[in-house]
Structure 1
Amino acid sequence: MASSSAGLVTGLTAAALATIGVLGYQASATAPADLGRTQASSTPAPGASKAPRDRRHPNALPAGSGRGERVVYSVDGDRVWLVGAGNKVERTFKVTPSTVDPVPGTYAVTSRSNRVTGSDGIPVEHVVRFTSVEGVVIGFSAAVDGSTAKPKPGERTGGIRETRADGDAMWQFATIGQRVVVVP
């Protein structure tokens, strides 16, 4: 009798772990559209509207993009900065923008996926999502084939494409809750 009870407990434990795994996967793959908004409205980051780039150093971190650890994304400059402790830029790189731009402001990483199919049908990896605009989820990703082609005109996509190496760096840096500052 003891061995049949042990088998029942083992079976129930395995079923419970499988259910938790499925729920965890579903939670990491989806998030409500407004999750991660750290502001009640999409107001620019302090000083963002007055954030000219240093003409002598076009890759310089935009003034007014905040302080502390954060991802900074320039919509007009198609560039990302990964900013670590002490306001030190750890990495900066060019990106290919999506067709739907996030509004300048401060957000947080809401979900991540290691590998999925992008809204444009291209397999992508290291997806880091931080907001949505009119039902289009916005986030950073790298195409598995390494391509960074611009989306087709008329497509409503939210994938800001990086190279695979830059996508790896973003994946390591931008965990759930990491601040993302969008500047013009």
Structure 2
Amino acid sequence: MFVTGLTAAALATVGFLGHQAAANVPPELRHPAAGAAGGVREALPDRGHPAALPARSGVGERVVYALRADRVWLVEESGKVRRTFGVSPGTVDPAPGSYRVTSRSKEVTGSDGVPIEHVVRFTGVDGTAIGFSAAKDGSAPVLDPRERTGGIRETRADGAAMWEFATIGQTVVVVR
């Protein structure tokens, strides 16, 4: 009876400590199956490889855009990353989710007055178009937080790669 009591106390202690440990795991270290409520896509970075494709970022051929990392991946049908690169976002972010490329423009003037090229749009937020583009002069955007801009700026080389990859209807997955 004494051994049974000690065993029960030990199991209760281990259970309590396990619960405490699970409750204090940072979100980026939780198992992918834990997921965020409401189907919100949460990017789980690979701490050893910050440019690694985020977990749970979809399947098949797609563009993946990670908001927190300010990074894009062009992913082939097989799941192989064709190209990844950093970007400079505007002041308005799209919500995490899955979108389709809706329009493209070879050359236009950005909302900041800078001539841009290879514009690939995939959504809008309260009247602000959201899409990828490259400044023709290679500059990064100068952001005024009072202005609503949805341009996600790439280098000219990355913009050309995006232009070739992301045609009308291409899937764009946005993760945190």
Q: Assess if the C-alpha contact under 8 Å between 2:66 and 2:174 holds in 1.
A: yes
Q: Assess if the C-alpha contact under 8 Å between 1:44 and 1:183 holds in 2.
A: no
Q: Does 1:60 align with 2:52?
A: yes
Question: What residue identity is the alignment partner of 1:65?
Answer: S
- The counterpart of 2:127, out of the listed 135, 138, 145, is 135
Q: CA deviation at 1:128?
A: 0.1
Q: Deviations over 1:119-145 (max 9, x none)?
A: 111110000000000110000000000
Q: Does 1:74 align with 2:63?
A: no
Distance 1:120 1:44 in 2: 34
Query: Residue 169 of structure 1 corresponds to which residue in structure 2?
Result: 161
Distance 2:96 2:77 in 1: 23
Query: Residue 119 of structure 1 corresponds to which residue in structure 2?
Result: 111
1:4-19 → structure 2 map (5 Å cutoff): none
Q: Deviations over 1:89-143 (max 9, x none)?
A: 0000000011000000000000000000011111100000000001100000000
TM-score norm. by structure 1 comes to: 0.73
Q: CA deviation at 1:57?
A: 0.5
Distance 1:91 1:111 in 2: 22
CA, structure 1 residues 44+99, in 2 after alignment: closer, same or farther (shift >3 Å)? Answer: farther
Percent of residue pairs identical: 68
Q: Assess if the C-alpha contact under 8 Å between 1:97 and 1:160 holds in 2.
A: yes
Question: What residue identity is the alignment partner of 1:144?
Answer: K
Q: Assess if the C-alpha contact under 8 Å between 2:131 and 2:151 holds in 1.
A: yes
TM-score norm. by structure 2 comes to: 0.76
Q: Assess if the C-alpha contact under 8 Å between 1:44 and 1:106 holds in 2.
A: no
Query: Residue 104 of structure 1 corresponds to which residue in structure 2?
Result: 96
Question: What residue identity is the alignment partner of 2:52?
Answer: A
Runs of 4+ in structure 1 deviating by more than 2 angstroms, as ranges, are: none
Matched residues, number: 139
Q: CA deviation at 1:149?
A: 3.1
Q: CA deviation at 1:150?
A: 3.8
Distance 1:113 1:151 in 2: 22
- The counterpart of 1:93, out of the listed 85, 98, 110, is 85
Q: Assess if the C-alpha contact under 8 Å between 1:44 and 1:104 holds in 2.
A: no
Query: Residue 182 of structure 1 corresponds to which residue in structure 2?
Result: 174
Q: CA deviation at 1:153?
A: 2.4
Structure 2 unaligned regions, length at least 5: 1-37
